[in-house]
Amino acid sequence: MLRIAVIGAGRIGKVHAATVAAHPQARLVLVCDPFIEAAKALAEPLGARASADAAEAFSADDVDAVVIGSPTPLHAEHVLAAARAGKAALCEKPVASSVEAARALADELATFEHPPVMVGFQRRYDPSIAKAQRLAAEGRIGRIEQLTIVSRDPAPPSAEYLAQSGGVFKDMTIHDFDEARFFLGEIVSVNAIGQKLDPALANVDDFDGAVTTLRAASGAVAIIKNTRHCASGYDQKVEVFGSEGEVVAENLRATSVQVNDAKGSAQQEVYLDFFLERYADAYRDELTAFIDAVNNGSPVTPTVEDGVAALVLAEAAERSARSGQTVEVTK
Protein backbone atom coordinates (compact mmCIF):
# COMPACT_ATOMS: atom_id res chain seq x y z
CA MET A 1 0.00 0.00 0.00
CA LEU A 2 1.69 3.21 -1.19
CA ARG A 3 1.12 6.06 1.25
CA ILE A 4 0.60 9.27 -0.70
CA ALA A 5 0.42 12.99 0.06
CA VAL A 6 -1.27 15.37 -2.36
CA ILE A 7 0.00 18.94 -2.55
CA GLY A 8 -2.70 21.35 -3.65
CA ALA A 9 -6.42 21.37 -2.82
CA GLY A 10 -7.53 23.17 -5.95
CA ARG A 11 -9.20 21.76 -9.04
CA ILE A 12 -6.50 19.28 -10.01
CA GLY A 13 -5.63 18.46 -6.40
CA LYS A 14 -9.22 17.32 -5.86
CA VAL A 15 -8.96 15.03 -8.88
CA HIS A 16 -5.76 13.42 -7.64
CA ALA A 17 -6.91 13.12 -4.03
CA ALA A 18 -10.09 11.34 -5.06
CA THR A 19 -8.14 9.06 -7.42
CA VAL A 20 -5.63 8.13 -4.71
CA ALA A 21 -8.34 7.54 -2.11
CA ALA A 22 -10.21 5.19 -4.44
CA HIS A 23 -7.16 3.18 -5.55
CA PRO A 24 -6.78 -0.28 -4.00
CA GLN A 25 -2.97 -0.03 -3.93
CA ALA A 26 -2.73 3.46 -2.40
CA ARG A 27 -3.73 5.31 0.73
CA LEU A 28 -4.21 9.06 0.92
CA VAL A 29 -2.58 10.19 4.17
CA LEU A 30 -2.08 13.93 3.74
CA VAL A 31 -3.35 16.94 1.78
CA CYS A 32 -1.28 20.12 1.85
CA ASP A 33 -2.50 23.56 0.86
CA PRO A 34 -1.69 27.02 2.25
CA PHE A 35 -5.45 27.55 2.55
CA ILE A 36 -5.90 25.16 5.45
CA GLU A 37 -9.69 25.13 5.29
CA ALA A 38 -9.53 23.98 1.66
CA ALA A 39 -7.04 21.28 2.66
CA LYS A 40 -9.30 20.09 5.48
CA ALA A 41 -12.39 20.12 3.28
CA LEU A 42 -10.64 17.83 0.82
CA ALA A 43 -8.69 15.63 3.23
CA GLU A 44 -11.11 14.84 6.03
CA PRO A 45 -13.92 13.19 4.00
CA LEU A 46 -11.25 10.98 2.41
CA GLY A 47 -9.77 9.92 5.75
CA ALA A 48 -6.57 11.96 5.50
CA ARG A 49 -5.10 14.75 7.57
CA ALA A 50 -4.50 18.30 6.37
CA SER A 51 -1.58 20.71 6.56
CA ALA A 52 -0.99 24.28 5.47
CA ASP A 53 2.69 23.55 4.85
CA ALA A 54 3.84 21.53 1.83
CA ALA A 55 7.08 20.76 3.67
CA GLU A 56 5.18 18.22 5.77
CA ALA A 57 4.69 16.08 2.66
CA PHE A 58 8.47 15.79 2.33
CA SER A 59 9.30 15.27 6.00
CA ALA A 60 6.49 13.00 7.19
CA ASP A 61 7.55 9.43 7.95
CA ASP A 62 4.19 8.04 6.86
CA VAL A 63 4.45 9.47 3.30
CA ASP A 64 6.09 7.33 0.60
CA ALA A 65 5.20 9.41 -2.44
CA VAL A 66 3.90 12.85 -3.33
CA VAL A 67 1.41 13.92 -5.99
CA ILE A 68 2.14 17.53 -6.89
CA GLY A 69 -0.85 19.64 -7.86
CA SER A 70 0.43 22.95 -6.57
CA PRO A 71 0.51 26.13 -8.72
CA THR A 72 2.79 25.79 -11.74
CA PRO A 73 5.56 28.11 -10.43
CA LEU A 74 6.09 25.70 -7.51
CA HIS A 75 6.25 22.44 -9.48
CA ALA A 76 10.01 22.22 -9.98
CA GLU A 77 10.69 23.24 -6.37
CA HIS A 78 8.32 20.58 -5.05
CA VAL A 79 9.68 17.85 -7.35
CA LEU A 80 13.22 18.53 -6.13
CA ALA A 81 12.12 18.62 -2.49
CA ALA A 82 10.41 15.25 -2.87
CA ALA A 83 13.39 13.69 -4.66
CA ARG A 84 15.84 14.96 -2.05
CA ALA A 85 13.62 13.59 0.70
CA GLY A 86 13.65 10.17 -0.94
CA LYS A 87 10.00 10.27 -1.95
CA ALA A 88 8.65 9.43 -5.39
CA ALA A 89 6.82 12.24 -7.19
CA LEU A 90 3.99 12.41 -9.69
CA CYS A 91 3.95 16.02 -10.87
CA GLU A 92 1.12 17.65 -12.76
CA LYS A 93 1.94 19.34 -16.04
CA PRO A 94 3.77 21.51 -16.79
CA VAL A 95 6.75 20.18 -14.88
CA ALA A 96 8.04 23.75 -14.51
CA SER A 97 6.99 27.26 -15.44
CA SER A 98 9.52 27.58 -18.28
CA VAL A 99 11.81 25.52 -20.47
CA GLU A 100 14.80 26.99 -18.66
CA ALA A 101 13.44 25.94 -15.27
CA ALA A 102 12.47 22.48 -16.57
CA ARG A 103 15.94 21.88 -17.99
CA ALA A 104 17.51 23.04 -14.73
CA LEU A 105 15.27 20.57 -12.88
CA ALA A 106 16.25 17.70 -15.19
CA ASP A 107 19.93 18.57 -14.81
CA GLU A 108 19.68 18.69 -11.02
CA LEU A 109 17.80 15.39 -10.81
CA ALA A 110 20.55 13.77 -12.87
CA THR A 111 23.13 14.54 -10.16
CA PHE A 112 21.79 12.17 -7.50
CA GLU A 113 19.90 8.91 -7.01
CA HIS A 114 16.23 9.34 -6.24
CA PRO A 115 12.90 7.50 -6.46
CA PRO A 116 10.83 7.75 -9.65
CA VAL A 117 9.64 11.13 -10.92
CA MET A 118 6.71 11.02 -13.33
CA VAL A 119 4.95 13.85 -15.18
CA GLY A 120 1.16 13.90 -15.25
CA PHE A 121 0.23 13.67 -18.92
CA GLN A 122 -2.68 11.38 -18.18
CA ARG A 123 -3.86 11.06 -21.78
CA ARG A 124 -1.15 8.47 -22.42
CA TYR A 125 -3.18 6.27 -20.06
CA ASP A 126 -6.63 6.98 -21.49
CA PRO A 127 -7.81 3.56 -22.75
CA SER A 128 -9.01 4.88 -26.12
CA ILE A 129 -5.97 7.06 -26.82
CA ALA A 130 -3.57 4.36 -25.60
CA LYS A 131 -5.19 1.77 -27.89
CA ALA A 132 -5.12 4.15 -30.86
CA GLN A 133 -1.42 4.78 -30.28
CA ARG A 134 -0.71 1.08 -29.88
CA LEU A 135 -2.49 0.20 -33.11
CA ALA A 136 -0.65 2.95 -34.98
CA ALA A 137 2.71 1.90 -33.51
CA GLU A 138 2.07 -1.70 -34.54
CA GLY A 139 1.66 -0.58 -38.15
CA ARG A 140 -2.06 -1.28 -38.41
CA ILE A 141 -2.60 1.85 -40.52
CA GLY A 142 0.76 1.93 -42.25
CA ARG A 143 2.92 5.04 -42.12
CA ILE A 144 1.36 7.85 -40.04
CA GLU A 145 0.83 10.89 -42.25
CA GLN A 146 -1.60 13.12 -40.37
CA LEU A 147 -2.79 13.50 -36.78
CA THR A 148 -5.77 15.61 -35.72
CA ILE A 149 -6.35 16.35 -32.03
CA VAL A 150 -9.46 18.20 -30.83
CA SER A 151 -9.45 19.45 -27.23
CA ARG A 152 -12.17 21.86 -26.15
CA ASP A 153 -13.11 22.59 -22.54
CA PRO A 154 -16.76 23.11 -21.54
CA ALA A 155 -15.92 26.42 -19.83
CA PRO A 156 -12.80 28.33 -18.82
CA PRO A 157 -11.34 28.03 -15.33
CA SER A 158 -11.38 30.93 -12.91
CA ALA A 159 -9.50 34.17 -13.56
CA GLU A 160 -7.35 33.38 -10.50
CA TYR A 161 -6.33 30.06 -12.01
CA LEU A 162 -5.64 31.57 -15.42
CA ALA A 163 -3.41 34.24 -13.88
CA GLN A 164 -0.91 31.61 -12.72
CA SER A 165 -1.50 28.92 -15.35
CA GLY A 166 1.27 30.02 -17.71
CA GLY A 167 -1.10 30.62 -20.62
CA VAL A 168 -3.20 28.38 -22.83
CA PHE A 169 -0.25 26.66 -24.51
CA LYS A 170 1.43 25.68 -21.23
CA ASP A 171 -1.80 24.94 -19.39
CA MET A 172 -4.11 23.36 -21.96
CA THR A 173 -2.40 22.64 -25.27
CA ILE A 174 0.58 21.12 -23.47
CA HIS A 175 -1.47 17.92 -23.10
CA ASP A 176 -1.93 17.91 -26.88
CA PHE A 177 1.77 18.53 -27.46
CA ASP A 178 2.62 15.47 -25.38
CA GLU A 179 -0.09 13.48 -27.16
CA ALA A 180 1.35 14.50 -30.54
CA ARG A 181 4.80 13.33 -29.45
CA PHE A 182 3.22 10.11 -28.14
CA PHE A 183 2.01 9.35 -31.66
CA LEU A 184 4.58 11.04 -33.90
CA GLY A 185 7.85 11.26 -32.01
CA GLU A 186 9.96 14.39 -32.19
CA ILE A 187 8.49 17.63 -33.55
CA VAL A 188 10.64 19.96 -35.66
CA SER A 189 8.41 23.01 -36.28
CA VAL A 190 5.38 24.76 -34.79
CA ASN A 191 2.90 27.22 -36.26
CA ALA A 192 0.12 28.53 -33.99
CA ILE A 193 -2.76 30.95 -34.48
CA GLY A 194 -4.18 32.28 -31.22
CA GLN A 195 -7.75 33.51 -30.76
CA LYS A 196 -9.35 35.97 -28.32
CA LEU A 197 -13.09 35.55 -28.84
CA ASP A 198 -14.56 34.98 -25.37
CA PRO A 199 -15.81 38.28 -23.87
CA ALA A 200 -15.49 36.81 -20.38
CA LEU A 201 -11.73 36.50 -20.88
CA ALA A 202 -11.23 39.85 -22.61
CA ASN A 203 -9.13 41.20 -19.74
CA VAL A 204 -6.90 38.12 -19.50
CA ASP A 205 -3.54 38.45 -21.26
CA ASP A 206 -3.87 35.12 -23.00
CA PHE A 207 -5.62 33.37 -25.87
CA ASP A 208 -8.89 31.55 -25.27
CA GLY A 209 -8.50 29.36 -28.35
CA ALA A 210 -5.82 28.24 -30.78
CA VAL A 211 -5.18 26.17 -33.85
CA THR A 212 -1.65 24.76 -33.93
CA THR A 213 0.14 22.87 -36.69
CA LEU A 214 3.14 20.68 -35.88
CA ARG A 215 5.56 19.08 -38.32
CA ALA A 216 7.27 15.90 -37.12
CA ALA A 217 10.76 14.73 -38.05
CA SER A 218 9.08 11.84 -39.88
CA GLY A 219 7.26 14.25 -42.19
CA ALA A 220 3.88 13.68 -40.53
CA VAL A 221 1.78 16.73 -39.66
CA ALA A 222 -0.43 17.25 -36.60
CA ILE A 223 -3.26 19.76 -36.27
CA ILE A 224 -4.41 20.69 -32.76
CA LYS A 225 -7.68 22.55 -32.19
CA ASN A 226 -8.26 24.13 -28.76
CA THR A 227 -10.78 26.39 -27.14
CA ARG A 228 -11.59 27.23 -23.53
CA HIS A 229 -15.35 26.86 -24.09
CA CYS A 230 -17.60 24.33 -25.81
CA ALA A 231 -21.40 24.32 -25.62
CA SER A 232 -21.65 20.56 -26.18
CA GLY A 233 -19.36 19.58 -23.30
CA TYR A 234 -15.80 18.32 -22.99
CA ASP A 235 -14.89 17.76 -26.64
CA GLN A 236 -11.94 15.35 -26.82
CA LYS A 237 -11.14 13.26 -29.88
CA VAL A 238 -8.20 12.16 -32.00
CA GLU A 239 -7.86 10.96 -35.59
CA VAL A 240 -4.70 9.23 -36.82
CA PHE A 241 -4.48 8.94 -40.60
CA GLY A 242 -2.00 6.58 -42.18
CA SER A 243 -0.99 5.29 -45.59
CA GLU A 244 -3.16 2.18 -45.11
CA GLY A 245 -6.04 3.39 -42.96
CA GLU A 246 -6.97 5.49 -39.97
CA VAL A 247 -7.67 5.13 -36.27
CA VAL A 248 -10.23 7.35 -34.54
CA ALA A 249 -10.80 7.77 -30.80
CA GLU A 250 -14.19 9.43 -30.39
CA ASN A 251 -15.77 11.50 -27.64
CA LEU A 252 -17.31 9.81 -24.61
CA ARG A 253 -20.87 10.30 -23.44
CA ALA A 254 -22.69 9.15 -20.33
CA THR A 255 -24.44 6.49 -22.44
CA SER A 256 -24.31 5.29 -26.04
CA VAL A 257 -28.10 5.65 -26.52
CA GLN A 258 -29.30 7.22 -29.77
CA VAL A 259 -32.82 8.51 -30.44
CA ASN A 260 -34.40 8.56 -33.87
CA ASP A 261 -37.73 10.36 -34.18
CA ALA A 262 -39.51 13.18 -35.99
CA LYS A 263 -37.04 15.68 -34.51
CA GLY A 264 -34.00 14.01 -35.99
CA SER A 265 -31.89 10.89 -36.25
CA ALA A 266 -28.97 9.59 -34.18
CA GLN A 267 -29.66 12.10 -31.40
CA GLN A 268 -27.28 11.55 -28.48
CA GLU A 269 -26.43 13.05 -25.13
CA VAL A 270 -23.85 15.84 -24.97
CA TYR A 271 -20.25 14.93 -24.26
CA LEU A 272 -19.13 14.35 -20.69
CA ASP A 273 -18.93 17.74 -19.04
CA PHE A 274 -15.86 17.56 -16.78
CA PHE A 275 -12.33 16.32 -17.32
CA LEU A 276 -12.50 14.12 -14.20
CA GLU A 277 -15.41 12.22 -15.74
CA ARG A 278 -13.83 12.08 -19.20
CA TYR A 279 -10.43 10.96 -17.95
CA ALA A 280 -11.38 9.05 -14.79
CA ASP A 281 -9.95 5.81 -16.22
CA ALA A 282 -6.83 7.64 -17.38
CA TYR A 283 -6.12 9.11 -13.93
CA ARG A 284 -6.63 5.68 -12.35
CA ASP A 285 -4.34 3.92 -14.83
CA GLU A 286 -1.76 6.71 -14.56
CA LEU A 287 -1.67 6.23 -10.80
CA THR A 288 -1.40 2.45 -11.24
CA ALA A 289 1.62 2.94 -13.52
CA PHE A 290 3.19 5.32 -10.98
CA ILE A 291 2.68 2.83 -8.15
CA ASP A 292 4.17 0.07 -10.30
CA ALA A 293 7.22 2.22 -11.02
CA VAL A 294 7.71 2.92 -7.31
CA ASN A 295 7.08 -0.61 -6.05
CA ASN A 296 8.45 -2.74 -8.89
CA GLY A 297 10.86 -0.52 -10.81
CA SER A 298 8.85 -0.51 -14.02
CA PRO A 299 9.80 2.19 -16.56
CA VAL A 300 8.51 5.69 -15.84
CA THR A 301 6.47 7.38 -18.54
CA PRO A 302 6.05 10.24 -19.13
CA THR A 303 9.45 11.33 -17.84
CA VAL A 304 10.79 14.73 -16.84
CA GLU A 305 12.44 14.80 -20.27
CA ASP A 306 8.99 14.39 -21.84
CA GLY A 307 7.87 17.31 -19.70
CA VAL A 308 10.76 19.42 -20.99
CA ALA A 309 9.96 18.52 -24.61
CA ALA A 310 6.30 19.49 -24.20
CA LEU A 311 7.31 22.83 -22.70
CA VAL A 312 9.64 23.47 -25.64
CA LEU A 313 6.65 23.08 -27.95
CA ALA A 314 4.45 25.25 -25.73
CA GLU A 315 6.93 28.12 -25.74
CA ALA A 316 7.45 27.74 -29.49
CA ALA A 317 3.67 27.92 -30.01
CA GLU A 318 3.44 31.05 -27.88
CA ARG A 319 6.18 32.71 -29.93
CA SER A 320 4.50 31.65 -33.16
CA ALA A 321 1.07 32.94 -32.10
CA ARG A 322 2.52 36.28 -31.01
CA SER A 323 4.71 36.75 -34.09
CA GLY A 324 2.66 35.10 -36.81
CA GLN A 325 5.73 33.10 -37.84
CA THR A 326 6.51 29.39 -37.94
CA VAL A 327 9.03 28.48 -35.23
CA GLU A 328 11.68 25.83 -35.77
CA VAL A 329 12.13 23.64 -32.70
CA THR A 330 15.54 23.25 -31.13
CA LYS A 331 16.23 20.91 -28.23
* pLDDT in the model for residue 275: 64
Nearest by Cα to 17 from 304, 288, 303, 283: 283
CA angle 309, 312, 313 (to 5 degrees): 95
Alpha-carbon distance values, 12 to 7, 15, 120, 288 (Å)? 10, 5, 11, 18
Let me know: does 102 contact 96? Beta carbons within 8 Å.
yes
Residues ≥6 apart with Cβ < 8 Å to 131: 249
- Mind listing the domains of the chain with CATH numbers? 2-115 (3.40.50.720), 124-275+310-328 (3.30.360.10)
Q: What is the pLDDT of residue 44?
A: 98
Q: How many CB atoms sit inside 10 A of residue 140's CB?
A: 15
Ramachandran bin of 297, using left for φ above 0, alpha for ψ from -120 to 50, beta for the remaining angles: left
> What pLDDT is stored for residue 46 in this prediction?
98
User: Would the CA dihedral through 164, 167, 168, 172 be positive or negative?
Assistant: negative
The DSSP letter of residue 253 is B
The partner residues of 75 in beta bridges, in order of sequence, read none
What three-state secondary structure class fits 304? Answer: helix
Phi, psi of 233 (to 5 degrees): 115, -155
Cα 165 to the center of its chain, rounded Å: 13
DSSP-assigned beta bridge partners for residue 248? 239
pLDDT tens by residue, the chain, 331 residues: 999 999 999 989 999 999 999 999 999 999 999 999 999 999 999 999 999 999 999 999 999 999 999 999 999 999 999 999 999 999 999 999 999 999 999 999 999 999 999 999 999 999 999 999 999 999 999 999 999 999 999 888 887 788 778 899 999 999 999 999 999 999 999 999 999 998 888 888 899 999 999 999 999 999 999 999 988 888 899 999 999 999 999 877 777 677 787 888 777 777 766 566 778 899 999 999 999 999 999 999 999 999 999 999 999 999 999 999 999 998 6
Whole-number pLDDT of residue 233? 82
Confidence at residue 273, expressed as pLDDT on a 0 to 100 scale? 67
Q: Sheet of 327-328: strands edge to edge? A: 245-249, 235-242, 144-152, 221-227, 209-216, 187-195, 327-328
Q: Is the Cβ–Cβ distance between 164 and 71 less than 8 Å?
A: yes
Per residue in 68-85, pLDDT (tens digit) is 999 999 999 999 999 999
Which of 327, 276, 266 minimizes the C-alpha distance to 122? 276
